[in-house]
Each structure stands twice: as C-alpha cells, then as structure tokens.
Amino acid sequence: MRGYAYYGDAGNNGSPSFFAVNLATGQETMLGTPGDLTGSGSFGLWTVVERGGYLYVQTTDNGIQVYKMVNATTLGDLYATYDKTVLDTITSRPANSQYWGFDVTLDQTRFLLSTSAGLAFEFGPPVLNMARSGADVMLSWPQSVNAVVVQSSPSLSPPTFVALDPQPSVVVSSDGKMNTPTLPIGTGNGFYRLQKSR
C-alpha cells in the first residue's frame, strides 16, 4: 500500500515473521507468520509483495500464502494458498526444487516465480486468441497450457458455456509455441474459453 514496504524474516524456518514498514517514519509492524517451514536447505520466507490490498507471502520450499489486508498494517484472513506440490506440478519441476524470485503484476492477474536452472514462470489465466481462416475459426493459446477443454457459449449475457463435444483436435504451431485447434464457423455468435479438465 502507498507509503509502505513489506518484507520477511528470511533464512528462518521456525515461524518466520513478515512485516510492514512505514517509509516516512521507519515504524515497523509485524503482520504475521506463515508458520513453521520445512524443506532440506530451505531459505524460509523469501519474498513479501502487496498488490491491491492483498499480501503475497512466498517461501522457497513451502509455497505461497495470500492474505486479504484490512489496512496497510493489519492482516486479514488467509485468502488463498499455492501449495509447493501444486507449484512443482505446474512448472514440471522436481520435488526438491526451490523458488526464489517472486512478483505480482500491478493488475493482480499474474504472478512471476523463478527457480533453479535459471528458469522463470508466469502464472495466470492463459491468453486465448481467435482468428478467422476462411470458413473456420482458429483458436490458439500457449503450448505449455495443457489439461484444458474448449468451451463455447452463444452469448455473454448471460453466459452459458459448455464443453465442445467432441473436443477439437489440437496441434502445435510450427514454431512450437502455441496450441492451435481449428473449428468450423457456426451460425450466430460464438464465444470461447478454456476450462481446466482436472
């Protein structure tokens, strides 16, 4: 929040604390703790980021906790948790991976997370592109986004999305970057989205 910075008690696995500091006065306020942390060689609580009234508390070996804030120096309820095993699954990293760098976009739709081997990952809803190709519609989204189904709706007011049956055949673009199914253009309006399949 404006006028404050947020940071954590790094290198401590025994209930490390995270804090707010008033940049004008230097007054420090302890906000909370993610609890005892585990992990061989863990560096504990690594990054604390505030965006839009939410506080993201990122650890090297125990995932990310997101809290709703009451105000700049008062922590609210735990809003969401990104468990380490979930992060490992999404990034296809082994269980002994550690995560060091972290940031959240200003609009809070995505966060960035880095790990060993010089890798960085962007988390958030995939961008779904649509283009007309003759009598067809070509959808495309990043090749790394898998385990999704294509849904369609004839309207957005109200939306009535249902999974296409059968699902379109998905091929990878020639540059290897995009998944690209092709659909016939129907009559009337058509809106598309991706939905997790598991």
Give the integer Cα–Cα distance in Å for 1 and 22: 10
- In this predicted structure, what is the pLDDT of residue 92? 83
- In this predicted structure, what is the pLDDT of residue 188? 81
Give the integer Cα–Cα distance in Å for 41 and 34: 18
Counting as low any pLDDT under 70, the low residues of the chain are 198
Q: What is the DSSP string of 68-101?
A: EEEETTEEEEEEEEE-HHHHHHHHT--TT--EEE
Structure tokens at 48: 């604390």
Contact present, 73 and 6 (Cβ < 8 Å): no
- In this predicted structure, what is the pLDDT of residue 170? 95
Residue 2's contacts (CB-CB under 8 Å, 6 or more residues apart) are: 72
- In this predicted structure, what is the pLDDT of residue 198? 61
- In this predicted structure, what is the pLDDT of residue 91? 86
Contact present, 177 and 143 (Cβ < 8 Å): yes
The architecture (CATH level 2) of 129-196 comes to: Sandwich (2.60)
- In this predicted structure, what is the pLDDT of residue 21? 98
| Angle, CA 7 vertex, CA 6 and CA 13 arms, to 5° | 145
Taking the CA atoms of 40, 46, 52 and 54 in sequence, report the sign of the dihedral they define: positive
Give the integer Cα–Cα distance in Å for 172 and 54: 37
Closest Cα to residue 115, out of 95, 132, 130?
95
Q: What is the DSSP string of 150-164?
A: EEEES-BTTB--EE-
Closest Cα to residue 2, out of 20, 17, 29?
20
For the segment 106-140, what is each residue's pLDDT rounded down to a tens digit? Answer: 988 889 999 988 899 988 877 899 999 898 999 99
